[in-house]
Amino acid sequence: MLNLKKSLSFFSLCLILAVFIILFSATRPAEKTTVEFYPEFPEGCTSILVGKNASSDGSVIVTHAADCGVCDFTWHHVPAADHEEDAVRKIYHIHQIKTWPPEEGGKWGNLEEGYTELDIPQVQHTFAYRFSVFGYMNEHQVSIGEATIGCQRKMMNPTPAAKMDITMLTLLAMERCRTAREAVKLMGSLGEKYGYGYYDSGEMLAVADPHEAWLFEIMPVGPLWTPESGKPGTVWCAQRVPDNHVSVCPNESRIGEINRNDSDHFLYSPNAVSLAVEMGFYDPESGEPFSWKKAYCPTLGSASSSYGRRGRLWRFYSLVAPSKNFSPDLPNMDFPFSVKPDKKMSVQDVMAIHRDKYKGSIFDPAQGIKAGPFSNPNYFRGFRLDKENYTGPRCISVNNVEYTTVAQCRSWLPDPIGGILWVALGAQDTSCFIPFYAGVKALPDSFSVGDHWILNRQSARWAFDYVDFHTQVAYSYAIEDVKKIREEWEGKAFEQIPAIDKVAEGLYNENPEKAATFLTDFCLRHADNVVRAWWDLGDFLLVKYNHFRMYDPETRKTGRMMTPGEWNKAVVLYDKLSPIPQSRERR
């Protein structure tokens, strides 16, 4: 009997939730009879690309939001090195997600488990760079962002014949390349020669240097490939973002028609078209032009038809080019590869987009009672009830992100000074972007330790998770406290960068080693200060919002956190509350 009552109560709550979502979501998208789910395509990461003439200061910018939730989030610095003439480079299969406990050496202490038995000739000199799940920026400002895009299922190649995966390719590019174009060609050629896949399917890399931004897509060629076949072990294509344009990859293939007469903007493998014909993805007799994305990684639906699950593409373009009035009903496959933004974008603008949660849009998850009593945009992600699917939007910003990188490449400064890799650990809305110059010789110790399963107060990432956890409790209130501290510390960094650039350039002209030491000292000191500030902020939030009240340590007074009217109405309706009788006036 008790279970029956619980079931009825739960059913009643669901009905009430449905009613209130309808009543209070006046800006919801048009009604659809079905919700489109495409589980074969990932929803992992978002990467933004900004050409040098589309940025406000002439930087080339590429980004990566590593939306995982269980991946290794530690960061590491690899110094430049010279190698003997007969040295070899071991090649490993590196799983993007799999991790090991810190006491067992963590992910990067267990590389040998993935040794492919392939050694390739080592180059005479390898460059310094920084990496986490992927390689991100080297001393020559070559920078990378990533987004998994998937591919047609028959293209998958999980066999040991495929020696290269996407992480390994990014590390090799960091070690060996001085330009983005070099990096694209190197990664493509290595995949062709040694085979690509194993752990990975279709992947996109945003590859940049101070002059160019390339969107590079690479995919396996099926499980029957062998080196002895004489055929390329991968299929790949790269398109350069026009200098005055911006682009984005939200886990969807973005390259359409390939202009094979424009080598300045297109690079590709020799089988870019022939593989599609061979596998039955494209019929050259159809009269239709060949489209890379339609052949190898077609994406169904639109922002509206998926209720925002596939809305990041529309959202990005609506933010950077609102004058074009892109409709959320426009199929994702019909969006252009890139657009000219309505105004040039600053690094801060790009950071703000990575913090976007559809606020004010038709897919705003913070509207209605689905956002909880404190308008938390992270609450509603969708669920299955009575054999029916209910979905929430997939925002650009999700709180299961490991970190977000914004790589800023500047041509007017020497490479060690021109490149800045901004890193925000954890959820973007409750974190802080911290700068690391391309020429630094080390990263903070706190960035190289920790994992998801053990709270570690020596780990920088846990400082940001500590703040994020306490913010979720009373989001609409606590996020305002976080914004103040975030704006303070990011503001300090942006204020200091011009002066740091100037001093570092003077030292570089005198002695590059002095410049490297100066930049390293600045970055380590600033990062340590930010991490300390976030531990303090976490303590502050715990005290201030303890017991769902508001404690003010300065006045030693408390206040009440008010819940929104729509939530209150839902509680009254669900619990059948009666108002307190108004007292009669005294006579």
Using the predicted structure, report yes or no on whether residue 102 has a pLDDT greater than 90.
yes
Q: What is the DSSP letter of 164?
A: B
Using the predicted structure, report yes or no on whether residue 33 has a pLDDT greater than 70.
no
In this prediction, what percent of the chain has a pLDDT beyond 70? 92
Please give the Cα distance from 23 to 246 (Å, whole number).
38
Please give the Cα distance from 55 to 422 (Å, whole number).
16
DSSP states along 288-328: PPPBHHHHH------TTTTTTTT-HHHHHHHHH-GGG---T
Please give the Cα distance from 504 to 517 (Å, whole number).
9
When pLDDT is cut at 50, 70 and 90, the band that residue 21 belongs to is very low
Global confidence as pTM: 0.91
Please give the Cα distance from 376 to 213 (Å, whole number).
35
Q: Report, as an integer, the average pLDDT of 8-26.
A: 37
The encoded tokens of residue 519 equal 């930049």
3-state class of 475 per DSSP? Answer: helix
Which pLDDT tens digit goes with each residue over 348-406?
A: 999 999 999 999 999 999 988 889 999 999 988 888 888 888 888 999 999 999 999 99
pLDDT of residue 383: 85
Which pLDDT tens digit goes with each residue over 183-219?
A: 999 999 999 999 999 999 999 999 999 999 999 999 9
Q: In one letter, which amino acid is 553?
A: P
Which pLDDT tens digit goes with each residue over 523-532?
A: 999 999 999 9
Which pLDDT tens digit goes with each residue over 567-580?
A: 888 889 988 999 99
pLDDT of residue 30: 38
> What are the distances in angstroms from CA 577 to CA 5, 195, 217, 489, 571?
18, 66, 57, 46, 8
The encoded tokens of residue 447 equal 């960035």
**408 phi and psi angles, rounded to 5 deg:** -110, 115
Please give the Cα distance from 105 to 448 (Å, whole number).
12
Residue with token string 């001093």? 503
- Check: CB of residue 421 under 8 Å from CB of residue 346: no
Residue with token string 């009669």? 584
pLDDT of residue 384: 87
**Alpha-carbon Rg for the chain in angstroms:** 25
- Check: CB of residue 410 under 8 Å from CB of residue 401: no
Q: In one letter, which amino acid is 474?
A: A
Q: Report, as an integer, the average pLDDT of 245-253.
A: 97
pLDDT of residue 587: 47
Q: Report, as an integer, the average pLDDT of 526-541.
A: 98
Sheet order of strands, 401-409 included = 246-249, 47-50, 60-67, 401-409, 420-425, 434-437
Identify any residues that bridge with 138 across adjacent strands, giving them in sequence order. Answer: 129
> What are the distances in angstroms from CA 504 to CA 244, 421, 519, 576?
29, 16, 7, 67
CA 149 to chain centre: 13
Q: At what angle do helices 475-510 and 512-544 cross, to 10 degrees?
A: 170
Please give the Cα distance from 439 to 507 (Å, whole number).
12
Please give the Cα distance from 332 to 7 (Å, whole number).
40
Alpha-carbon dihedral angle through residues 177, 114, 224, 172, given to the nearest 10 degrees:
0
